Each structure stands twice: as structure tokens, then as C-alpha cells.
Amino acid sequence: MRTSPFHKKFAAHNAVFSERFQTEIVSRVSDPKTEYETVRCAAGITDFSFMQRFRFPEEKGLDFLDSLCAGNVAKLRYGRVLHTFLADENGMIVADCYIANNDEEFILLCESIADDDVVKQLLLSRGAAEAGMVDLSQSHALLGIDGFKAWAVAKELFGADVLGLPYLSIERYEFSGAGVSLFRSGKTSEFGYLLLLEADKSDLVFDACLASAQKNNGGLCGIDIHADLRLEGRFFNVFAEGASVRDPLSLGLQWMIDFNKEQFIGRDAIFARREHGLEKKIIGISAGPDASGFTKGAKIVNGSDDVATIVATCFSYTLNKFIGLALFSIDFAYAGLSFRCGDANGPVVSTISMPPIMPKSLTVKLDDM
């Protein structure tokens, strides 16, 4: 198991740790409701070091990454980040990826639903060594700042210029002599940043982030709450619906794919499925006041017919009810309909447009700050 470089820091706050795909993750630091509000209203500091991370020199890295991932890396502009995925030969998702063009280099960050080393081995088997790949998992740490006030933390650490960073961009900063690559990314639909830090300086930056977050009424978070936040904000979570469904087309991830690209892993399979037409699709669902049986794996029925399976659920503190995602047969894959959970007499389940909440961060413009 690859341990977290922030283990001690989080342990000091009584964090609960666990293991996922052979990486150590910080599951929780406080209770779900507190962590939820930390992100939705303030700033949450989360350990993202479980992500795989690699660096490639620009020239060879470009061709290499472009030949593997579904998105177009060649047209990624300097200072921008591409959100795409890595699939296997069957066109099934293996990892949710951020690829950043840092000019002389590309940085690849992966959330993988395969064991920790699998992505690296996959890349090596495809020629990563020749492409000059450097594994950053030991030399660097990844810290996330997410929340309605995340920008305030970033601004305090790196200066007001961060407010000008567009979503999905990368910028190099220095903090106390430590080089930091700051990603403006984030999957909670509040403002979000990922900090790629040199491991030996990571404690310094951690302390500064936490202090600043606390000043803004925030604090530490585990990774579990991010699953709920992502679902609420309808951001793809490879660990939830990604792991259950695997097919990027049914998951609605066509926007991560450049269909004009001639080569990427799994292209043929994906094209064949696209040609054939979707048979199932992920749709958002909402439970009623009676949420019994509203769990992952449960069936959704229309009369006596099965029409869907629930693949992810969470409790939305904003809406004060349970919401989720279900894999629907294509004929019923529409929002605004009512079904039953479990069987024809089960509680009502409705299909909804996602995301069902309006995050605070979308109501303000960063450049007004």
C-alpha cells in the first residue's frame, strides 16, 4: 500500500484512514455534515496523494499521451488542463485523468479504479520509459483545496493573480521557496484547486493551507465526502458510477473524447458501441420522503418491468433528501419521470435533471473578488 505523505498531519486531527486500490486514503476527519458544509460554505483541505502522478518532457510526452488518452492532448494550450480518461482495450474506463500542459512538460494525474501500480505498468508497457516518463508519486504530494472560499486560501498563499486563473488551467507558483504547480480544477462544483508539491516541502504548504482554511471557517476533509459532493454537483466520480458502469458512453463522458482522433486505447471498441447505439444511460434520481431501499444495487421498476439499477447514492444536505445515479435502459432514460424502487409497491423514485443544486460558487464571479 502506498502511504500518504500527509499521514502524520491528518492523524494529528484524528482522521480515519483506509485503503483503496493499494493506496492509503484519508476517509474522514470529522462527521459528514461538517465536512459537507466545510466545502459548500468555506474551504476544505483534502489529501489527494492517492492519485497517480507522472511527468513527461514535452515533445515525446505529447505524442505518447495523445496516443493513449481519449481526449486531444495535441491541441491542449499552454497553461491549460485537459480532463479526459484512460480506457482499456475494451474501451472501458481505467482512470479519470487530468493532463496539464506546463509548457516544457506534461503532467498526468490519474484517479484509477485499478490497483495503484496498474496505471504505471500500463503506461510502461506502451513505451512510457522511452517517452521520458518520471513517476512523481514519491517525490511529490497532492493536496486539494475545495470550497466556496477556496479562492481565498489560494490567494493568501500565492497572490491575487490566482483569481485570474480560468477553470482547468495550471500555473507555477512559489511558496516559501517551494515550487508548487497549482491546478484550478475541482470536482465539487465549488471553487477547487489541486496543489502538486515537492514532498519535502509539503508539510510547510499543508500548514499554511490549513491555517488559511481555518481563517475562512474551513478545515480538513476526508475523501469520502467528495463522493457525495461530486454526485450532488454531477461531476464524474470514477470510484462510484465509474467503477460500476465502466462504459464511458453510458456514463455520458463523450465530451472527454475527441472522436476525430485516430488513435487512443479502446478506440475501436468505443466506436463500435457508439455505432451500435446506446442501450443504457446514467440518469440522476431522487428519492421521496421514503428512501427505504434507495441504495446502490437496488432495482428501479416501471410497473413490473426492471428499467434501471442504482449505481450511486448520497444524502444531499442542501436538498435534505437522498439523490443518486442509476443506469437506465435507454427507452426510459429521461428526467422528469416517476418510478418505484425495488418493486412495483416500493417507494417512489423520480428521475431528475442533474445537478439538482445550485452551488454557491456558480453564483459569484471570481473576478469580482
Partner 1 sequence: MRHRVVVTGMGVIASAGKNCDEFFTSISNGTPSFSAINRLHCSHFRATHAGFVQGFSEESVPHPHVLAAQDRFVQFAAIAAQQALFESGISPVSASHRMGLLFATCSGPMQTIERYYAGMAGGDRTLTKEQLFAKRYYSGAILLARAFGIGGICTTVTTACSASLSAIGFAADLIRLGLADAVLAGGSDTFSETTLAGFDGLKATVEGFCAPFSKPFGLNLGEGAAFVVVESLEHAQSRKALVLAEVMGFGLSNDAVHCTAPDPSGAGQALAMERALADAGIAASLVSYVNAHGTGTEANDKTESRAIKKVFGIAAEHLPVSSTKSMIGHCLGAAGSCELVASVLCLAKKELPPTANFKGGRDGCTLDYVGDLHRTPSSFGPMLTNNFAFGGNNASMVLNVNGPFPGATAGSDAANEAVITGIGILSAAGTGTAPFLNAIERNRSCFTKSSVGSLPGEFGFVSDFLMRDIDRRLDDRNMDRSSRFALAAARLAMIHACIGERQSQRKNLGLYLHLSAGPSWAEEEHISALMREKFSISQVHAFPYIVPNSVAGNVCKAIGLSGHNTTLCFGPGAGIMGLGFAAQAINANHSEALISLSADELSDRIIADLSISGLLAQNPYSYGEGACGFVVESREHAQNRGAKILATICSSAYSTHTGKENDRATLLANTIARSLSQAKILASEVACVCCNLHNELEKSVISYVMQTNDLRRIDTAPQLGFAEATLPLYNLAYSLLGSGIEYAATKNYILVVFSSDYGTNCSTVIRKEH
Partner 2 sequence: MQKEIGQRREIIQTFKSELIRRLNLPYTPDDLHEDVALLGAGLGLDSLDALEIVLCIENSFGIKIPDENIAVLRSINTIVDFVISQQTANKEQQ
> How far is 68 from 70, CA to CA, in rounded Å?
7
Site map (CB under 8 A) of partner 2, residues 45-84, x = contact: --------------------------------------x-
Query: Residues 151 to 210: which contact partner 1 by CB under 8 A?
Result: 161, 163-166
> How far is 87 from 122, CA to CA, in rounded Å?
10
- Shortest reach from residue 86's CB to partner 1, in Å: 20
Please state, as a whole number, how many other Cβ atoms lie within 10 Å of the Cβ of residue 36: 22
Determine which residue in the list 281, 286, 291, 327 makes contact with partner 2, applying CB under 8 A: 281
> How far is 214 from 156, CA to CA, in rounded Å?
12
Q: Residue 230 is inside which H or E element, if any?
A: helix 224-233
Q: How many CA atoms lie less than 13 Å away from 273 in the CB half-sphere?
A: 18
Determine which residue in the list 124, 337, 342, 347 makes contact with partner 2, applying CB under 8 A: 337
Rg of the chain (C-alpha set): 20
The entry of partner 1, partner 2, none near residue 368 (CB within 5 to 8 angstroms by kind) is: partner 1
> How far is 357 from 353, CA to CA, in rounded Å?
10
| 242 part of the interface to partner 2, by CB under 8 A | no
> How far is 233 from 222, CA to CA, in rounded Å?
18
- Shortest reach from residue 360's CB to partner 1, in Å: 17
With left for phi above 0 and alpha for psi between -120 and 50, is residue 92 left, alpha or beta? beta
Of 7 and 299, which CB lies nearer to partner 2 in the complex structure? 299
CB 10 within 8 Å of CB 25:
no
Of 95 and 231, which CB lies nearer to partner 2 in the complex structure? 231
- Shortest reach from residue 3's CB to partner 1, in Å: 36
| 368 part of the interface to partner 1, by CB under 8 A | yes
Query: Residues 160 to 189: which contact partner 2 by CB under 8 A?
Result: 167-168
Which spans of this chain sit near partner 1 (rule: CB under 8 A)?
58, 62, 74-75, 77-78, 101, 103-104, 161, 163-166, 367-368
Residue ranges that bind partner 2, judged by CB under 8 A: 83, 167-168, 234-235, 252-255, 258-260, 274, 277-278, 281-284, 302, 331-332, 334-337, 353-355, 358, 362
